[in-house]
Structures are given as C-alpha cells and as structure tokens.
A = this chain, B = another copy of it.
Amino acid sequence: MNSAIITIGDEILIGQVVDTNAVWISQQLNANGVRVGEMVTISDDSDQIRLTLDRYMGKYDLLIMTGGLGPTKDDMTKQTLAEYFNSKMITHPEVQEKIISYFRDRGRSMIESNRSQADVPDNCRVLMNHHGTAPGMWFEQKGTILVSLPGVPYEMKGLMNDHLIPEIQKRVVVPHVVHKTIMTQGVPESYLAELLKEWEEGLPDCVKLAYLPRPGIVRLRLTIIDKCASEAEQMLEVIIGKLLNIIPQHIFGYDDMSLEESLGKLLKENKLTLSTAESCTGGNIARLITSVPGSSGYFTGSVIAYENRIKSDVLGVDALVIDNEGAVSKEVVEQMARGIMDLYGTNAAIATSGIAGPDGGTEEKPVGTVWLCVTYGDKILTKKFRFSGTRDRIIDQASFSAMQLLRRVVLDMA
C-alpha cells in the first residue's frame, strides 16, 4: 500500500506553523507497512484542493488529508470535498449527539459553528471523533481511499488511532522493510562517517545507511529491504555488534529513544538520584529530564544560577574563584556540581556554565565555550567544549553533551 499526505493550511505555507501532523502520520503509516511517497502542503483554497485531488486520486492507494475542518470560518475543506465527490450535505445524528454531549460534559455552552460540524457529505463514511467535535470523513473512489481529518494534532491522532490504524492493519500485508535507528551523541556527522567508513563499507547490499544529524545528536538509520523479519533481525544483531565495538561510548539508544529517556532509565536501574545546577543551559536540562513521565522517581530538582550571586549564595561557589577564574571555568562548574549534590542530597549531578551568545564572548572565551561537570558518588568528570551555531543550538548541544557525559561516568565509559 502506498500513500501521500496532504496538509491544508495557509499558516504552513506562510511559515507560521510547522507541520508536525504529517510527521506523526508518516511515522504511523511506515510502522504499519504503508509507504509514504509524498507529503504536500497546499492552500486552504477550493481550486488548489481540487487540483491536488486530481493529481493524486488513482495514483496512490491512500490519501490522508488534514486540516480545514475546524469550527472557525477560514476552513472550506468539507464543502470542497462534498462537491468533488458529488455529495449532498446531511446532518449526522450520532455526530450531533456527540457534539451536544461533548459540550454538556464540559459544562460549556454550544456555539453555532460547533453545531454545523455535525453536517457531513452523504456518501462518506463518518469517523466518529471522540476527542473533539469535527468528525473524520472516509471516501473511496478510483481505487483510492481519501480520509479527511481535522488539523488539531490531538484530534487527528485520536481519529488515526481509533479508526485508520486498525483499518490499515486489517488491509495491509506488511512488506519486508525493516528500519532500525541507532542514536549517537558526541561525534559530528562527517567525523562519524570517517570513523565508521570501514564498518559502512562492510554492510551487506540490502542494507541502506543514512546519517541524520540534529544539534548534538546523530542518528544512524539502517534500512533492510527484502529480507524476512528473522533474517533482518539476525543481520542487525551482527551489524550493531560491530558498531558497538567502534563507538560504545557514543551510543545511547535505539529507534528514536531520547537521551533524556535513556539517562532516566540508567538512573532508575542504578537507584540514583539526580540534581542539576545550570547556568548557560538555563533549565533546559531539567526541562528535558522532567519531560519523561515518572522522572520524579529519580530527579530531585535544580538550581538555575543565571546570576553569579546565586552561584555563590545558593550553591556555595567561592566568590573569589568566580572573580579570579570567571564564571565560565573548570573550578566554578565543579563547585556548582558539588554544591547542588550537597544542597539537594543527590548522588549524581550535572553542572553547566558557558557563553550561549549571541553576545558575551571574549577572545579567550568565545561564544560557544561551555564547561560541563558531571558527578556520580566520588567520581567527577569535567570537560570544556566549544560549540558552534545559534544560541538555541549551543544550549541544546551543551544539554545533550552533559547528559551523555553523565551516562558515560555511570557506565564507566568516560
């Protein structure tokens, strides 16, 4: 089964919104053996919608269209689809009942625009929306299934999970394509490629490799084509085994596991508790760590010491050392780490101090200079980095590098 994803929304074409819906949908489709051939974003405009349908109907088995079904007036998808598929609009009693009870349950009064969401084309299959008010619509013509979903991510995901994915699982025989992603931290893409040259050249012909960089992280995606599951599994075991011999200290997980999840898992397994003392990362490490459900089991909290006074008053860093060495120094970041361990009573800590920019750099300490310190019991590891890029990139790289350093110290791979 092959598919295309059509996103409707002027807000995306003028660059105001990132189309995260298409990403999520493609993940689900791929995981269920549906190839995504194209993703396209078009305007909330009848002519453009018709033109795109003309182009894709009959070419793909499945078209998933999102957006343009909200209660506000700028949406015209439903009307256009009704015309395209020669439908009459009817009020759908079950949807109407659903909308009424949706508002009743939340103790909210209903608005006229919500009421009209119960109107649907008479020749589509209605997909009940248990997460909002706009129903999904399923049309089948010219050998193509077209499904229209609301653009609100929460509702779109609900409709995909409730209706589409079960339906796809019934219809699709999963083809022999296996994806495996290896998550690495600490080596930039071109260096990693050089480091892994021999390994890459030794890959079997049916294995495709892609390098997917993010600030501070490079993902290695292996794709195995036309092998049965057990054969692919065996192949992967050998390939990853070899990789683990080359860069063990840089691999933190597989298949898009995040570094914060990986670190959390390690802390939990080792019954460790963590606190952070952040200066240049400004709370970003704490935010990443607490984005993981259950992180309260191992994460105690942080002191964000943006001002130097807080570094000495709250974390107990020697003010004289700050004066002599500067806040961005080995001594200060080590005292910050020890200070937060004492104050928060944890057995592991991360501390950061650096210059995130765009201003504040000097010749000796240019923008991007970051000192990181991680502690675990009596062990302490302090490292100086020189990151490049924008403020956000520097903060991200510092955050990921610090988390991976702590993993390495705990795993005795520093």
Contacts and interface: CB of A to CB of B under 8 A. Distances in A.
Interface of A: 10-20, 22-30, 36-43, 48, 70-74, 111, 113-114, 152, 154, 179, 181, 189-190, 193-194, 200, 208-213, 219, 221, 223, 256, 276, 278, 282-287, 289-291, 293-296, 299-307, 309-310, 314, 343-345, 357-359, 389-393, 395
B284 A287 contact: yes
Contact of A291 (B24, B282, B307): B282
Given A15-B25, A18-B23, A70 B189 contact: yes
Contact of A283 (B223, B290, B393): B290
A219 B16 contact: yes
Which secondary structure characterizes the binding site on chain A? mixed
Given A284-B287, A301-B304, A27 B14 contact: yes
Given A14-B27, A290-B395, A301-B314, 12 more contacts: A11-B210, A13-B26, A38-B42, A72-B189, A154-B389, A283-B284, A287-B287, A302-B302, A303-B314, A307-B344, A309-B345, A314-B344
User: How many copies of this kind of chain does the complex include?
Assistant: 2
A276 B302 CA distance: 11
Q: 10 tightest CB-CB pairs across the interface, nearest first? A: A282-B290, A283-B286, A15-B27, A283-B283, A15-B26, A302-B304, A39-B41, A301-B306, A301-B304, A283-B287
B300 A391 contact: no
A36 B14 contact: yes
